[in-house]
Amino acid sequence: MMKEKLALSIILTLSTGILSGCAAMEREMIGGQRDRHGCLDTTGYTWNRLRQQCIRVWEQGISVEDPVKPDEWAGSYAVFSKDGEKVELYLADSPDDHPILEKQDGVFGNHDFRLEKHQGTWHLIRRNTIRQQ
């Protein structure tokens, strides 16, 4: 009788451990993997360096006219810092690179890009890039 109780106790302990492991694995699969900043990229979140938070660029940013022809579902976006002095670019053709442009004389730029507003639309100018058709 004592051996049966001990065996039953061991089986219950092992079963509980296995089941809780499965539940944890299922929660991780449902929630998805987080990137190194804790953003759930499977739900569209990405890290914004200027705001120091996870954002969805299509919610927090503005669409920009880009000389590189993007896929129909993808576009380029600009997310401005809270003080409006810098902008972080999310480029359709380079999803892992987010250049930061600084404001100078009303125009945002760095050595590779300029972002200018004309007639209510933000236009991205890429240096040494020819518009694709």
Owning domain of residue 86: 41-126
The answer to whether residues 5 and 52 belong to one domain is: no
H-only helix segments in the chain: 2-31, 57-60
pLDDT at position 26? 41
User: Is 62 part of a structural domain of the chain?
Assistant: yes
The answer to whether residues 77 and 14 belong to one domain is: no
User: Is 58 part of a structural domain of the chain?
Assistant: yes
Q: Look up residue 3 and give its amino acid.
A: K
Q: Which residue has the higher pLDDT, 30 or 106?
A: 106
Domain count for the chain: 2
The answer to whether residues 84 and 108 belong to one domain is: yes
pTM of the full predicted structure?
Answer: 0.68
The answer to whether residues 27 and 47 belong to one domain is: no
φ, ψ dihedrals at 60, nearest 5°: -95, -20
Task: Report the distance separating Cα 125 and Cα 67, nearest Å.
Answer: 7
Q: Which residue has the higher pLDDT, 112 or 12?
A: 112
The answer to whether residues 47 and 105 belong to one domain is: yes
The answer to whether residues 61 and 16 belong to one domain is: no
Residue 92 three-state SS: coil
The answer to whether residues 60 and 107 belong to one domain is: yes
pLDDT tens profile 20-67: 554 444 444 455 788 888 999 889 899 999 999 999 999 999 999 887
Q: Is 60 left (phi over 0), alpha (psi -120 to 50) or beta?
A: alpha
